[in-house]
Amino acid sequence: MTDTLASTYARYLVAISFQRIGELMANSYMWAFAFASDISTHYERSFMDQRLRLAVDGVLVNIHLLAIPVFERHTAIVQFNLISTTLDVLYGQWRDKMIGVASDGENTMTGRHAGVVTLLENEATHPILRVWCAAHQMDLVMKAAFAIVDDGNFVKNTKDLIVHLRRQKLLIADMGTAAKKLTNRWLYMGNALEWILRNHAQLNTHFEGHQSASPSSS
């Protein structure tokens, strides 16, 4: 089989799948669906993943709609245009049946005024349910918890500590490890705090040495 023939068969299969999905969305018994989208990177190329969640013959199914390359910047309007164009092709009345949108925690997705979810919500003919991914929900819980620790300065102080430790070349050489990079995401925060706890004895020695080397106050 030649590459040309294989690609032709692949296009036929994709077209048949899209037609079947469009028929499911148009079916009068399928009165609602939820949509999910995120952008991931594969071999240094960005792809937008789109999924549909709907009920078919009494069974809730999760359909991987497509993974489409994104050659432009990942702005909210670029993502919205890709999503709305896809849904328009599948089923022109999708705005009447969409009841939920799931997304990751990126600002372009969750922005209150111009995020992708907000733009889709504005297209819907009735209110929709917003669903954030579990990782983003963990971020929100973490931020709320840390906001009440150390008068709200815990995250800032931890970031300052990590920045200081990552600049200490001699300390890094002695320990054979460097402080973990820190962002606002719960996973990075967890890794950074775990590293600090695991190496607290050596870190205490480091800071005690700095204090003893400081000039005493007169």
pLDDT digits (tens, 9 = 90+) for 19-65: 999 999 998 888 899 998 887 766 677 888 889 998 878 888 899 88
Indicate if 11 and 115 belong to the same structural domain.
yes
What's 56's domain CATH number?
A: 3.30.420
Shared domain check, 174 and 191:
yes
Check residue 111 and give its pLDDT.
47
162 or 42: whose pLDDT is higher?
162
pLDDT at position 206 is 86
Whether residues 32 and 46 fall in one domain: yes
| DSSP of 85-145 | HHHHHH-TTHHHHEEEEEE-S-HHHH-TTTSHHHHHHHHSSS--EEEE-HHHHHHHHHHHH
The predicted pLDDT at position 12 comes to 92
Residues 79, 128, single domain; the answer is: yes
Last residue of a domain, one of 132, 151, 166: 132
Average pLDDT, the chain: 83
Tokens of 8: 């032709």
What six digits make up the tokens of 80? 């919205």
Do 68 and 52 share a structural domain? yes
Q: Which two tokens stand for residue 1?
A: 């089989």
Picking from 84, 99, 132, the residue at the C-terminal end of a domain is 132
Q: pLDDT at position 69, please?
A: 81
- Give the end of a domain, one of 102, 132, 162: 132
Q: Which residue has the higher pLDDT, 123 or 216?
A: 123
Residue 151 has pLDDT above 90, yes or no: no
Instruction: Name 49's Cβ contacts closer than 8 Å, sequence gap at least 6.
Output: 37, 38, 39, 40, 64, 66, 67
- Whether 154 and 126 map to the same domain: the answer is no
Tokens of 93: 């009345």
Claim to verify: residue 144 and residue 109 sit in the same structural domain: no
122 and 64 within one domain: yes
| pLDDT for residue 208 | 83
- Are 28 and 94 contained in the same domain? yes
Q: Does any domain span residue 185?
A: yes
Residues 97 and 163 in one domain: no
Is 218 inside any structural domain?
Answer: no
43 Cα distance to chain centroid: 18
pTM, to two decimals:
0.60
Domain that holds residue 13: 3-132
Q: Is 74 contained in some domain?
A: yes
pLDDT value, residue 135? 67
Residue 218, pLDDT score? 42
Residue 138 or 163, more confident = 163
Instruction: Name the domain count of the chain.
Output: 2
10 and 96 within one domain? yes
